[in-house]
A and B are shown apart, each in its own frame.
Chain A
Amino acid sequence: MSQLGRVKQWNTFARCWHLFDAAWQNPLECSPTIEKYLKGLNKPIYHPLVDCGDHVVVINSKQIAFPGEEWRRRAYFHHTGYSGGATWTPAWELHDRDPTMIFRKAVYHHMKGNLFRRVVMERLHIFSDSNVPEEVMENITNQIPPLRSIPKTLSSYSKEEIEKYPKIIDYPEDFILSKN
């Protein structure tokens, strides 16, 4: 192969690094999007036997969101292999133990179980907060847009904004808005 041919191939199969902010995102909804980048499904050169997947760095996995009763009702099963070794851990408990685990499991279980799955999972780097090592941050050249917008919390409004907000109803006199 000529010199040009070599670098051309290198350029086409260059591995990119994408950033994904998981704050206020549902991991079950995000996993198809993350999988697309991890496997390289977004590239025109994609082929199941071609190793063309990218790296994805997920930050703020501690701030993921689940709808409804999911934190309480969703259980993660584990079996030690010994008799009586089965455990069912609720999502909130697992999230307390390891804030990256729920996101990792969501992506892992969404992918089809074949020999490539564990290889592809190696390209997923999850961080529980936004403290990412500098050398990882330098690799990143793209950001995956989040699927849902981040809702504005009441505490983030300034006092002026709250006062200017239109008044719709009159609260009863004994209604307590906040303790302060």
Chain B
Amino acid sequence: MSSSRFTPRGFPRVPLQNGIGRYICQLKRVTLRFCKSSGSSRGIRDFIETDLVSFAQDHPGTALYLKPRRHKSPSFVAEYLNGEREVISCHNFTAQQMVKWLNLYTTRSGIPLMRYVKMWHTECPSIQGVWSPFTNKDPALNITQFPSEMLSRPVWEEKSATEELVEMINKQKISDENNDDIQKVQAAHV
């Protein structure tokens, strides 16, 4: 359960600022434990025959040990630079599955699996700074006397019937005056 209170939770972390300077593969040691005869180890035996050398060449920073154990279920132990150790059962794995699982464990940081509170994390604050209630606030509010006349109006005001009536009358008055003027001018011409 990801929301369980027994699961550790935290932010994505990286040990030793890995990657800021140079990248270190955090997997320091792998021990492959398998049986030379039993069927459940067949895939891991195939892996050892075909891909083990190339894996070791690709990851020179990882010490690799083989540990044949008679009639035991196969597994591999991944040990990390931060001291963590994980045992993975490879019962009935195919060689390809082995490649994939080893790839997963070489690319991990070794920090135990946890529920991420957020999928990203940074210690470095953004350039624009942290938001605060004062961000983008009008500084005029500092000297305003509350309650203020200006701020006591709704953001969007509808025109009242009274105001509309007054406006209509005013418009009519103006057009009447204009008509009067035109008539006067015409009379003068005649």
Contact = CB atoms under 8 A, between A and B. Distances in A.
Direct A–B contact in the complex, CB atoms closer than 8 angstroms: yes
Interface of A: 8, 11-12, 14, 16, 19, 21, 43-45, 54, 59, 130, 137, 140-143, 145-152, 165-166, 168
Nearest to B151: A143
B62 to A, nearest CB: 38
A140 B133 contact: no
A149 B132 contact: no
Interface string B139-174: 001101011100111110110101001100100000
Given A145-B151, A146-B154, A166 B166 contact: yes
Contacts of A45: 131
B130 interface: yes
Nearest to A40: B133
Interface of B: 130-134, 137, 141-142, 144, 146-148, 151-155, 157-158, 160, 162, 165-166, 169
Given A59-B147, A137-B146, A143-B146, A148 B133 contact: no
A54 B134 CA distance: 13
Contacts of A14: 132-134
B141 A145 contact: no
Nearest to B152: A21
Mostly helix, strand, loop or mixed at chain B's interface? loop
A12 B126 CA distance: 14
Contact of A147 (B141, B142, B146, B154): B154
Nearest to A54: B133
Contacts of A151: 160
Given A141-B141, A146-B152, A11 B157 contact: no
B121 to A, nearest CB: 15
Contacts of A166: 165-166, 169
Contact of B155 (A137, A141, A145, A168): A145
B154 A16 contact: no
Given A19-B147, A166-B165, A8 B130 contact: yes
Contacts of B147: 19, 21, 59, 130, 143
A44 B148 CA distance: 27
A32 to B, nearest CB: 15
B151 to A, nearest CB: 4
B165 A149 contact: no
Given A44-B131, A149-B154, 13 more contacts: A11-B134, A12-B133, A14-B133, A43-B131, A43-B133, A45-B131, A140-B146, A142-B137, A143-B147, A145-B154, A151-B160, A166-B165, A166-B169
A16 B146 contact: no
A151 B161 CA distance: 11
Contacts of B134: 11, 14
Given A44-B131, A137-B146, A166-B169, A145 B160 contact: no
Contacts of B148: 143
Contacts of B169: 166
25 contacts: A8-B130, A12-B131, A12-B132, A12-B133, A14-B132, A14-B134, A19-B146, A19-B147, A21-B147, A21-B152, A44-B131, A59-B147, A142-B137, A142-B141, A143-B146, A143-B152, A145-B152, A145-B153, A148-B154, A149-B154, A149-B157, A152-B160, A152-B162, A166-B165, A168-B165
